[in-house]
Structure 1
Amino acid sequence: MLIKYSDNPFKQVLGITFYNRKNILLFTIISILATVQYKFGEIFTFNPITLPMVPVTILGGALAIFLGFRNNSAYDRWWEARKVWGGVVNASRTFGVMICTFSSGHFSKGKIKNDQIESWRKELIHRHIGWLYALIMHLRKHNHWSDLEKYISEDEIEAIKKLHNKPTQLLHIQGKKLQEAYESKIIEDFRHMELANVIKEFYDLQGKAERIKGTIFPYYYNYFTGVFLWLFVICLPFALTPEMGWGAIPMAIAISFVFTILEKSGAVTEDPFEGRAADTPITTITRNIEIDLLEMIKSDTVPAPIEPKTGRFGVKYLD
């Protein structure tokens, strides 16, 4: 999640210019060509290529409608992704509290020892943290197993490596472990049902995240937005030059840049799980959950929170 570009205004401008340098160069070339051919027409008395302002203005209005719809829809996807992971945070804390407080040797009348219960709690908390990292891996489609290997046994790692949906299978294992705990009297019937409901909630939240990831933004909006954008960018300087002369060059570049940034913002925001600076910071959120859960079981290996990263030109963001 992008926090801010930089504390230095000069670096802000430099960074924005650098990351959009190709488009700015194209805007400049088109604007200069349109203005130069118009000025040459005045000097050598031939009819230069010009366009009336009204149809270009109408085209700009149509483009603004497409960009507005796309950006609103893209932001809805980004915000829903953030709400889904907010739900993961709350449900994970609830799960941790239930695991630590619902389990007891009371139900087995002392047959289950405290160290066995502590081991069971640790196992389920660790596997849940593994599920969080497996879900990140699933959404970002990479194979970084190091975070899972810290919390999940080698046998389970080898078992889920062969399967398509790894986080789903980890939740399935959690369900089986809860059933085993119920049968061995670590938890009783009502508490087993409550924990099963939390597992169901994890399935629901995972499904929502997969829906956001798997639903492609309507192609025709992306396609026609791009077509209208570049048609507008090409036509704009030919309409401005008869009225503004050389001043049409910076004005056309500025207006084209504004529309292009709006289009780029929508394109980036519509895929919130890719791990870019502007995306939902699921790694940071997961680390915070990891810290909370490990502290609940009084672990000796609680990691530090993830600090904001500083990228090129002083950009600050959370992963």
Structure 2
Amino acid sequence: MIIARRIQWSHIIFYTWKSMAYFLTLSLIVYVLHHEFDLTWVAIPFNAVATLSTALAIFLGFKNNSAYDRWWEARKIWGKLVNYSRAWGREVLNLAIDDNQPGSEELKQWQHRMIYRHIAFVHALRVFLRQRHAYNEIENELLETHNQYHDIEPFLANNDLEMVLSKRNPPNYLLMEQGDDLLRAYQRGWLSDYRYVKLHETLTEFNNHQGMCERIKNTPFPRPYSFFSRLFVFIHGTLVPFAFIEVLGPFNIPLALVINFVFITLDYIGERTEDPFENRPGDTPLTSISLTIEENLKEMMGDPNLPTKPVPIHGIVF
């Protein structure tokens, strides 16, 4: 998630330079044809392009609002995951009671296992949602830094990591293990009927959170919006130099570039917002939220080894 008020121009240029190079070349060609070869037919009515600009702006605004809704829904889901994780830690510590041996070491080990396995679930869900192929070296480095299943190893018992990694859906497997341990606690008498159901309800909420995230991850933004928005931006950008050449002359070149930069940037904003789990700079900060959950649950357990949250990288929190 980008938190800096100013976005680095290197990031902007990285995504837009090819399109801007095309528009610059086209503007130069139109200028040469009109002023050097006196081809007046290259000029087109301004009102036609102005009408298209208005329609395209409305279309891009609708697309970006819809893309933002997906991003904001992802953030709300992970906000709920934070709240239910805190509730899970409190319920595990307060609702599980051994009446026969108050303060028994076995119960404490069970509580430790349930809470730390949940931390593993949160980190595993983060990695599971961010699985994809990097598009360039910069993104590949980010994936390697912020997206490793081995991050969950400290929170699992011996040899559990190998079993988790053998599953196609590691976070779902961890929830299944949590359910099995809840059943054992109930059978041991540590949980009454009501408390067992209460903890199972909280565990089911984690299933719901994962399912909602998978729905966003596996349901792409409607492709016609993405395809036609890019197509319309390039059609509009191609026509812009022809609309101003008659009046502005050489000043048509910078003006066309500015107008096209605005529209191509609007299109990229929507494209980079529509998929919030791709581990890109503008995505939902899953790493930061996961570390917040880890910190909260460790504090509940009295663990002094709290995680260190990574500092923003060039104004970006992952």
1:119 to 105, 109, 124: 109
Contact 1:59 1:228 in 2 (8 A): no
Please state if 1:130 is matched with 2:129. no
Equivalent-residue separation in structure 2 for 1:243 and 1:304 (angstroms): 59
Shift in Å at residue 65 of structure 1? 2.5
Equivalent-residue separation in structure 1 for 2:49 and 2:33 (angstroms): 19
The amino acid of 1:232's aligned partner reads H
2:29 is matched with 33
Alignment of 1:227-306 (within 5 A): 227-306=231-310
Equivalent-residue separation in structure 2 for 1:237 and 1:295 (angstroms): 61
Shift in Å at residue 144 of structure 1? 1.9
Alignment of 1:142-291 (within 5 A): 144-291=148-295
The amino acid of 2:22's aligned partner reads L
Equivalent-residue separation in structure 1 for 2:5 and 2:110 (angstroms): 45
Contact 2:16 2:264 in 1 (8 A): no
Structure 1 residue ranges without an equivalent (≥5): 311-315
Please state if 1:95 is matched with 2:88. yes
> What CA deviation, in whole Å up to 9, does each residue of 1:265-296 have, x standing for no partner?
00000011111111100100000110100111
Please state if 1:20 is matched with 2:16. yes
The amino acid of 2:281's aligned partner reads A
> What CA deviation, in whole Å up to 9, does each residue of 1:61-109 have, x standing for no partner?
2322321121011000000000000000000000001111112222xx2
**Runs in 1 of length 4+ with deviation above 3 angstroms?**
11-19
Contact 2:291 2:309 in 1 (8 A): yes
Equivalent-residue separation in structure 2 for 1:299 and 1:261 (angstroms): 46
The SS at the match of 2:281 is coil
Equivalent-residue separation in structure 2 for 1:59 and 1:293 (angstroms): 54
Structure 1 residues 143-152 or 83-92, which shifts more?
A: 143-152
The amino acid of 2:50's aligned partner reads T
Contact 1:37 1:48 in 2 (8 A): no
The SS at the match of 1:262 is helix
Equivalent-residue separation in structure 2 for 1:304 and 1:219 (angstroms): 39
Equivalent-residue separation in structure 1 for 2:9 and 2:283 (angstroms): 21
Shift in Å at residue 27 of structure 1? 1.9
Shift in Å at residue 48 of structure 1? 4.2
1:317 is matched with 316
Structure 2 residue ranges without an equivalent (≥5): 133-146
Structure 1 residues 218-227 or 12-21, which shifts more?
A: 12-21
1:287–1:171 distance in 2 versus 1, CA, 3 Å: same
Structure 1 residues 273-282 or 113-122, which shifts more?
A: 113-122
The number of residues matched between the two structures is 304
> What CA deviation, in whole Å up to 9, does each residue of 1:160-214 have, x standing for no partner?
3232211111111101101100111222221111100001111111111111111
2:58 is matched with 65
Structure 1 residues 132-141 or 82-91, which shifts more?
A: 132-141
Equivalent-residue separation in structure 2 for 1:21 and 1:198 (angstroms): 49
The SS at the match of 2:217 is helix
Equivalent-residue separation in structure 2 for 1:174 and 1:197 (angstroms): 12
1:313 is matched with none
Shift in Å at residue 41 of structure 1? 3.4
The amino acid of 1:180's aligned partner reads R
Q: Could you tell me the percent identity over the aligned residues?
A: 37
> What CA deviation, in whole Å up to 9, does each residue of 1:198-250 have, x standing for no partner?
01111111111111111111111111111111011111101111121111111
Contact 1:41 1:48 in 2 (8 A): no
Shift in Å at residue 136 of structure 1? 1.0
Equivalent-residue separation in structure 1 for 2:8 and 2:172 (angstroms): 42
The amino acid of 1:317's aligned partner reads I
TM-score calculated relative to the size of structure 1: 0.90
1:52 is matched with 45
Equivalent-residue separation in structure 2 for 1:56 and 1:257 (angstroms): 16
Q: CA RMSD in A?
A: 1.8
The SS at the match of 1:309 is coil
Contact 1:93 1:289 in 2 (8 A): yes
The SS at the match of 1:3 is coil
